[in-house]
Amino acid sequence: MKDITLKVALAQISPVWLNKEKSLRKVEAYIEEASYKNCELIVFGEGLVPGYPFWLALTGGAEWNTKVNKELHAHYLNNAVSIENGDLDHICDLAKSQNIAVYLGIIERPMDRGGHSIYASLVYIDQNGVIGSVHRKLQPTYDERLTWAQGDGHGLKVHALKKFTVGGLNCWENWMPLARTALYGQGEDLHIAVWPGSDHNTKDITRFIARESRSFVISVSSLMRKEEFPEDTPHLSRILENAPDVLANGGSCIAGPDGEWIKEPLLDEEGLIIETLDFNRVLEERQNFDPVGHYSRPDVIKIVLNKDRQSTIEFDS
């Protein structure tokens, strides 16, 4: 039965770092390639457009009120994605014309928060080209807090895709038990975990989430090498001075609902990782454990999810 299988593509690629337009064109090329190979879902890494803020750990990102940090931050904002201004319109059109769903990690510059702060957001675009959710990372990690703002629960949503119910989290959100549970409770059985890159993140948590949730788990990481920093990057010499040869080595992978590998973490190779998932595997593993179903006690333990989009201003009509 075709309905119970889903062909997925993991796009393990590098961004055109801090260049929104060129990164979007690269994403579009990989969507077209995945569609040509009859994939029904393609997933890209965290903040791929326009890239991860690697400079924070390389240029004294916590130093207060420095010109280096201010100019790099401004450059980042100028290359962030504004959904309201149509930055993702072509990708939405492409998803519709190619009949493929997309999970894309972006650095979002939203107008509903004034338009001057940015968020690590995971965008879901369905096979009709409609944006189903924009999940802003709840808690940026460590030095990320110097450039990304805190998100909210508005994008903690799941989506029907054939027999599957898909949901996703950004990077270390995947370590947050309650964030995971919020998706499990909405019926998630295909979990999308996106990362900036590196197998030290994906090699353990991917299998753990799969075994905990009895779901398929797709982890997608990006790549980044020292030679890929563009020459027009502000303060490039300062960045290169401390940059290792490899900043993100990939580690994209897939675990099945039994917690075993379907695709082990792949390192240092750019391209598509393609696999076909069988929904019945989910039903088989839920027989003995279902974390929000027969193996739960909501009369004793439950969570409350606030799905309101947070903003500083509300208009009284």
How many residues can be counted in the chain? 317
The gap from C-alpha 236 to its chain's centroid, in whole angstroms, comes to 26
Q: What is the CA radius of gyration of the chain?
A: 19
CB-count exposure of residue 242 (10 Å: 0-12, 13-18, 19+)? exposed
Query: Is 137 among the residues known to form the active site?
Result: yes
Please identify which of the residues 46, 144, 173, 188 carries the catalytic annotation: 46
In the numeric block, the tokens 């260049």 are attached to: 19
Query: Is 39 among the residues known to form the active site?
Result: no
**Please, which residues have CB within 8 angstroms of residue 9's CB and are 6 or more apart in sequence?**
30, 34, 37, 39, 41, 42, 43, 272, 273, 274
Please report the DSSP string for 120-169 in residue order. EEEEEE-TTS-EEEEEE-SS--GGGGGTBPP--GGG---EEETTEEEEEE
Query: Is 171 among the residues known to form the active site?
Result: yes
3-state secondary structure of 86: coil
- Residue 145 CA to residue 62 CA, distance in Å, equals 10
- Residue 168 CA to residue 219 CA, distance in Å, equals 10
Please identify which of the residues 39, 92, 171, 253 carries the catalytic annotation: 171
- Residue 278 CA to residue 295 CA, distance in Å, equals 23
- Residue 19 CA to residue 28 CA, distance in Å, equals 14
- Both tokens of 28, joined, read 């579009």
- Both tokens of 135, joined, read 């999940």
* Beta-sheet pairing, 223-225 with 216-221: unpaired
Please identify which of the residues 20, 26, 137, 162 carries the catalytic annotation: 137
Q: How far is CA 150 from CA 42, 173, 258, in A?
A: 26, 12, 33
Which active-site residues does the annotation give? Answer: 46, 137, 171
